Amino acid sequence: NAGVTQTPKFQVLKTGQSMTLQCAQDMNHEYMSWYRQDPGMGLRLIHYSVGAGITDQGEVPNGYNVSRSTTEDFPLRLLSAAPSQTSVYFCASSRGIWTTQETQYFGPGTRLLVL
Amino acid sequence: AQTVTQSQPEMSVQEAETVTLSCTYDTSESDYYLFWYKQPPSRQMILVIRQEAYKQQNATENRFSVNFQKAAKSFSLKISDSQLGDAAMYFCAYRSPRPGTYKYIFGTGTRLKVLA
């Protein structure tokens, strides 16, 4: 198993450009989520999905869109990049929230710089 | 709303010694999950240990153990026999068990330095 993969690893954007951060998992996990990590602020939840076709907003959803057409993939779209979106983005997945053995697996992160 | 606080931005420990990282949280729920995650320089987030609030026994994973004080809403991580590979950012996290809830709340992290 590759686990959770994210592409690209690093990206530079100009203000106003759009792009999609890719996230995929091969563990057949129902639950997937996107976080951003900023210095001194820990990880903050952007969007999450509890299954294919179902998504919901997290703590900081503005400026981001998500969709979940398959169990494996959960892309994050920046519609019009802003310097405030400069951050490190992590994708995570877990088997379910109903089990006591639930563990969240993280991808390696995508570092995004918006100029 | 739940909050997680890590009041130690940075800690240092001598190799082979023991260090304790602090975490406090605020919630009105009686049942929940608490986690410690490690983030080494590679930036990968790695689960270190997990505690269910309904369990009175403190979780232990090899050299890592927690001191869970539910009444005080405290969840500290003890690392015994510290190794150079333990150097990383450590994040405390909270999750509600309520059905349909899938929101983790993370603290701001503690950077652990291990001195040779």
Q: Render pLDDT for B74-86 as a digit per residue (tens, 0 to 9).
A: 999 999 999 999 9
Task: Return the half-sphere exposure (C-beta side, CA atoms, 13 A cut-off) of residue B39.
Answer: 23
Residue B85 near residue A81, CB atoms below 8 Å? no
Whether A41 sits inside 8 A of B101 (CB atoms) is no
Ordered per-residue pLDDT tens for chain A, 115 residues: 779 999 999 999 999 999 999 999 999 998 899 999 998 788 999 999 988 999 999 889 999 999 999 999 999 999 999 999 999 999 999 887 555 556 788 999 999 999 9
Candidates A31, A43, A59; nearest CB to B102:
A31
pLDDT for res B62: 94
Residues of A in contact with B109 (CB under 8 A): 42
Among residues B79, B103, B42, B13, the alpha carbon closest in space to that of A104 is found at B103
Among left, alpha and beta (phi > 0; psi -120 to 50; other), residue B26 is beta
pLDDT for res B26: 94
Residues of A in contact with B103 (CB under 8 A): 45, 48, 58-59
Whether B47 sits inside 8 A of A59 (CB atoms) is no
Q: Which residue has the tokens 């997290």?
A: A58
Residue A44 near residue A63, CB atoms below 8 Å? no
Is residue A61 reached through a cis peptide bond, with omega within 30 degrees of 0 on the bond before it? Answer: no
The Cα–Cα gap between A94 and B103 comes to 12
Residue B106 C-alpha, separation from nearest chain A C-alpha, in angstroms: 6
What are phi and psi for residue B86, nearest 5 degrees?
-80, -10
- Angle at the Cα of B108 from the Cα atoms of B85 and B32, rounded to 5 degrees: 95
Candidates A40, A45, A88; nearest CB to B43:
A88
Whether B103 sits inside 8 A of A106 (CB atoms) is no
Task: Calculate the alpha carbon distances from B23 to A85, B17, B50 in Å.
Answer: 28, 20, 13
| Strand partners for A106 | A92
